[in-house]
Amino acid sequence: MSKFSPKKIVLGLIGIVVIGFLIWGVRWTTSARQPLAEATEALRSDDLVAVTETPWLTFTPQQDFEETGFIFYPGGRVDPRGYSDLMRAISEQGYLVVVPTMPINMAIFDSNIADEIIAAHPEITRWVIGGHSVGGTAAAQFTSSHPDQIAGLAIWSSYPADGSDMSNLDIPVTLMYGGNETRVTDESVGARKHLLPSDTRYIKIEGGDHHQFGSYRLTTEENLATVNRDEQHAQILSAMLKLLQSIEEQ
């Protein structure tokens, strides 16, 4: 009988395909979209903000320091640094901002990391949590299971999972999404309004899309926005500062 029978050849080919698929799967799940130049530039410390990257990406205001901090969960497969320009702009207004790195770049696999961040910063008396895409869903999950630890919630281009009922919470919530999105739409957001407080602030950024909630690399086909990134970011920043300031005024 031949040493290389048809059966062995077929099994060998199947094995090669399986191994190749596993390698591709590992690379896909562990890769992260890299920051654009404007996000990388925002990582430099100066007289306004000190930036550190361990144990988490942290933006610490150097002058006026509020007692409210902001924890932000990145979107799926996005390098945390891809939000640095927005996070820095928030920190320049006096807020400590912390962006953790997630297991295989998916916040849903460590939605409770906010516990560690809160414990590491006893100087902060009130915490707002937020996130983009799957990060927003994970932030909502943490809020629903830790209501006494969170003073405000910001959901960017996402919505709560069905098990995250926060309708009875007395905290300010802001949910933002782009008018040119394909998954986070009037319909999908509206179908989950019963999970959020009745006074939740909903902001639809006309012409905005899913990816411009950050500053990271993407393909031309993924860019659905008809407004530029600066305009979308200006609206995001305005909404975030209004949310944070409302907590300061309580």
Domain boundaries, the chain: 1-30, 33-248
Distance CA 46, CA 44 (A): 7
At 152 the pLDDT is 98
pLDDT the model gives residue 27: 43
- pLDDT on residue 200: 98
Q: Is 229 helix (H, G, I), strand (E, B) or coil?
A: helix
State residue 241's pLDDT score.
98
Cα angle, residue 220 at apex, residues 219 and 224 outer, rounded to 5°:
110
Number of CB atoms found within 10 A of residue 39's CB: 23
Q: Could you name the CATH architecture of 33-248?
A: 3-Layer(aba) Sandwich (3.40)
Ordered alpha helix ranges (H), the chain = 6-30, 37-41, 84-91, 113-120, 134-145, 186-190, 229-248
One digit per residue, pLDDT tens: the chain, 250 residues? 455 566 555 555 555 444 333 333 334 444 689 999 999 999 999 999 999 999 999 999 998 889 999 999 999 999 999 999 999 999 999 999 999 999 988 989 999 999 999 999 999 999 999 999 999 999 999 999 999 999 999 999 999 999 999 999 999 999 999 999 999 999 999 999 999 999 999 999 999 999 999 999 988 778 899 999 999 999 999 999 999 999 987 7
Do you find a cis peptide bond into 100, omega within 30 degrees of 0? no
Q: Cα–Cα distance between 82 and 18 in angstroms, integer?
A: 33
Identity of the residue numbered 124: I
